[in-house]
Amino acid sequence: MAEKSTSPKSKKNNSETFLWLAVGCVLIVLIALIGFVVLQKLTEQKKPLANEFQPTSAPLATATLMQKATQNYTAILQSTPCQFKIPDQVQVTCGIVEVPEDRNGDVKDTIHIAVAVFHSTSSTPKPDPILYLQGGPGDKAIDWIANNFSTMVLPYLAERDFIVFDPRGVGYSEPRFDCDDFKTTYLQDLQGKIPTAQKVSYYQGALLACKNNLVQAGVNLSAYTSIDTSADAKDILVALGYQQANLYGISYGTRLGQLIMRDYPGFVRSAILDSVVPVEVQMFNQSTTEKDSALHVLFEDCKANPDCSSAYPDLEQTYNEVVAQFNTQPITLTFPTTENKKLEELVDGSTFHDVVLWSLRTPQMIALTPSLVYRTRNGDYSMLKLALAYPILSLDSISTGIYISVNCHDQIFAMSTEKLDHTIYDLCNLWDIRPLAEGENDPVNSEIPTLIIAGKYDPVTPPSFARQLAGHLTHSYIAEIPDQGHAPSASGISDCPTRVISAFLQDQNTSPNLTCIQEINAIQFMVPYSASNPLTLESTAIDNYHINTDVPAGWNKAEYGFYNRAAWFGDMTQIGIQKAAVPEKNWISWLASNFGGNQGLDQPAVPFDQRQANGLTWSLYKTKSMGYPVDIAFAKSGTQTLMILMISYSDERDALYDTVFLPIIDATTSSK
């Protein structure tokens, strides 16, 4: 009996959906210093700064801050319901701590700092909790910690409480400094929609709109700086009744940690500082050598790796060629930033340089970066689109107004005008906040036990920053993680950073055991699949389609008869085997507009061959979707049509076609 003709279930192919999901998975390590990208966008085509920052290796003078005497006040904790999903089997106390907006002004004019305390599972917890200091500046902390509870919090609850707070102006704290107009302007700038001659005017307008909204709401913009946030941290400990804490800061949070160590040392038992920003570092005034140090680490490590050097023999030269090519002939790419939203961006040499550096932040992408360079050189922009989404997704979590306030105060106003592009300086003046106090950005000298964590590939806060900071922290230890980039303790790739932190918390006066770091394997760079090392195929039955076939061993079973290779982060390679009561030509027509979640095919599927197997005659087609090669085979089986579809990368297509696609055709039959 003939079955009713239905539309085929060509799986919502992961080629698009998996892209934005995969990007979301690595946002855990993209919590730092996103703001610098925005300001640099204004001046990226201008000449380099004449005076370049050089790291300091020797201890520098202790800072002396000249501030008004702070008036007396009492930080008050008010319990509130938690606004996030509380993890299972853990007790959490949420609330707000009421603090003065300006401690040098009217202390009765207060703001609310949102706090969450994850309580220890011990009946006799240590008296000194962990106080987490978020990156950014301007990134939400409470939601991020709750979402990454198993990595960031749970390992430490056996002995002590874990405190997290949203910095003033951010997240659940009030008031919030959300500046949607500024984000919109930045996204328009990325897409090349703002004329160069009008770029500054667009940013000025967005900045003024945000500023006016905040000022009209009664906000004192000058009271939202790192100094103020570090004082909030101290007040949170007082309000919660803790005498001391172990600071745990990541990226920008390490700057806050240093300020607390300097200004409120009595409240600090120890400090864990991951991906450090020394207080005295001027992030906008780094030398090209410093900024590109991670690139050279990548080039040298690939050269020393036999597989990488064989697959990518001239990585540095090829990278330079791609930059030059994009500077001469920029291209416009469209890529998804969420499942239902796409962004179009103009890519020139500077954009590609930034994309490669962003890729080195996460261990998943470090392994793919050589392939990113070579595939881009060869006109395959699939990985480039994946990497382009990083800054966009990170920006969504940033409170833009706080980023502006903190960076203008801490960084821009710390630089002499001859070292700084006047466009950025004028924008910060437009924001109209007070300048730095004398000595505010002087190096922090301290004897507080400190664990400094660095990632070998970190392009934002390189290991040289760790060594610079250790130079004036007399009781410090450095743990450099060889296979990671930014924020190693938050990546979740290895439990080694967590083990080192736990050992340090047990005894902060003894150098922690770094054996696990020495046991970490070097980065295994992704190289294209080769037919010389063919995959193993194994027999399987796809019951919902009544099909017997072979599939590659180790590939992940998905829906609708599809199997994903998932050999590396963001891997799009997959194969699907289906059967439906649909004529071949109708199926091809349906795929043309519906394949890949309505992405469709880039061009009509072209028949180019036939193949006989198991009494079936297969028609072979080839086409592309979103630039990826797509191979399709159809065969009539009774009243049904069998379909096999494979999507792959250009540099792997031929090998997969010979060792996977054709053998699966030869193995596929209807079971009834």
Q: Which amino acid is at 523?
A: I
Q: What does the mean pLDDT of the chain come to?
A: 87
- pLDDT of 17 > 70? The answer is no
Q: pLDDT tier at 506 (50, 70, 90 boundaries)?
A: very high
Of the three residues 331, 363, 395, the one that is the final residue of a domain is 395
**pLDDT given at position 342:** 74
| Diameter over CA atoms, the chain | 91
Whether residue 391 is found in the same domain as residue 410: no
Q: What percent of the chain has pLDDT over 90?
A: 69
pLDDT at 328: 97
| Same domain flag for 543 and 623 | yes
How many domains, the chain? 3
Q: CB of 362 within 8 A of CB of 486?
A: yes
Q: pLDDT (tens digit, 9 = 90+) per residue, 334-393?
A: 877 665 667 788 899 999 999 999 999 988 899 999 999 999 999 999 889 888 877 676
Return the pLDDT at 185.
87
Last residue of a domain, one of 371, 395, 419: 395
- 8 A C-beta contact, residue 243 and residue 264: no
Same domain, 487 and 542: no
pLDDT above 70 as % of the chain:
87
Domain final residue, candidates 395, 419, 440: 395
Rounded to whole angstroms, the Cα distance separating 43 from 289 reads 19
- Which pLDDT score, from 0 to 100, does residue 53 have? 27
370 and 321, same domain (yes or no): yes
Kindly calculate the radius of gyration of the chain based on its CA atoms and give it in whole angstroms: 28
User: Residues 125-169: pLDDT tens digits?
Assistant: 999 999 999 998 999 999 999 999 999 999 999 999 999 999 999
Residue 409: how many CA atoms within 13 Å on its side-chain side?
25
627 lies in a domain?
yes
pLDDT given for residue 43 in this prediction:
46
On whether both 86 and 150 belong to a single domain, the answer is: yes
pLDDT at 8: 54
**Residues 359 and 488 grouped into a single domain:** no
Residue 184 CB partners (closer than 8 Å, separation 6+): 206
Tokens of 64: 């002396």
> Do 487 and 562 have their domain in common?
no
Give which of 671, 665, 653 is closest to 577, Cα–Cα: 665
For the stretch 210-237, pLDDT in tens is 999 999 999 999 999 999 999 999 999 9
Looking at 26-122, list the stretches that DSSP marks H as alpha helix, in order from N- to C-terminal side. 35-43
Question: What integer is the mean pLDDT of 565-589?
Answer: 93
- Mean pLDDT of the 199-207 span: 89
| 152 and 271 together in one domain | yes
pLDDT at 569: 83
The pLDDT of residue 57: 29
Q: pLDDT at position 338, please?
A: 64
Higher pLDDT, 200 or 28: 200
3 CB neighbour count, 10 Å cutoff: 11
Residue 443 belongs to domain with CATH number: 3.40.50.1820
Tokens 């922090």 identify what position?
A: 444
Give the DSSP H or E segment for 222. none
Alpha-helical runs (H) found in 305-440 = 306-311, 315-328, 349-359, 363-366, 369-377, 382-395, 400-410, 422-431
pLDDT at residue 10, rounded to an integer: 46
Question: Which of 564, 537, 529, 553 minimizes the C-alpha distance to 650?
Answer: 529
Whether 23 shows a pLDDT value over 70: the answer reads no
Classified as helix, coil or strand, 217 is coil
Q: Both 389 and 404 in a single domain?
A: no
Report if residue 489 sits inside a domain. yes
Q: What are the tokens at 443?
A: 């190096």
Evaluate whether residue 212 is within a structural domain.
no
Structure confidence at residue 413 (pLDDT): 83
| Distance of alpha carbon 472 from alpha carbon 556, whole angstroms | 50
CA 559 distance to own-chain centroid = 28
Look up residue 59 and give its DSSP letter. -
Q: Which of 447-456, 513-522, 658-667 has the lowest mean pLDDT?
A: 513-522
Is residue 188 one of the residues assigned to a domain?
no
| 197 found inside a domain | no
Q: Assess whether 505 and 547 both reside in one domain.
A: no
Whether residue 508 is found in the same domain as residue 470: yes
Poorest-confidence range of 483-487, 498-502, 599-603? 599-603
Q: Quote the tokens at residue 477.
A: 């230890």
Domain of residue 39: give its range.
31-54+74-177+219-284+399-518
- From the number of C-beta atoms within 10 Å of its C-beta (0-12, 13-18, 19+), residue 608 rates as exposed
Confidence bin at 56 (pLDDT 50/70/90): very low
The reply to whether 119 and 266 lie within a common domain is yes
Sheet containing 669-670, strands listed edge to edge, beginning at the edge strand earlier in sequence: 537-542, 547-552, 669-670
| Range in 17-26, 110-119, 380-389, 591-600 with the lowest mean pLDDT | 17-26
- Write out pLDDT tens, residues 609-637: 999 999 999 999 999 988 899 999 999 99
Residue 431 vs residue 597, higher pLDDT: 431
pLDDT digits (tens, 9 = 90+) for 250-293: 999 999 999 999 999 999 999 999 999 999 998 877 777 777 99
Q: Is residue 390 a part of any domain in this protein?
A: yes
**454 inside domain:** yes
Going by C-beta distance under 8 Å and a sequence separation of 6 or more, which residues neighbour residue 460? 32, 33, 251, 275, 357, 361, 486
CA 644 to the chain's CA centroid: 35
- Strands 268-274, 450-455: pairing kind: parallel
pLDDT tens, position by position, 281-328: 988 777 777 779 999 999 999 999 999 999 999 999 999 999 999 999
Residue 67: inside a domain, yes or no?
no
Lowest mean pLDDT among 109-118, 172-181, 596-605, 657-666: 596-605
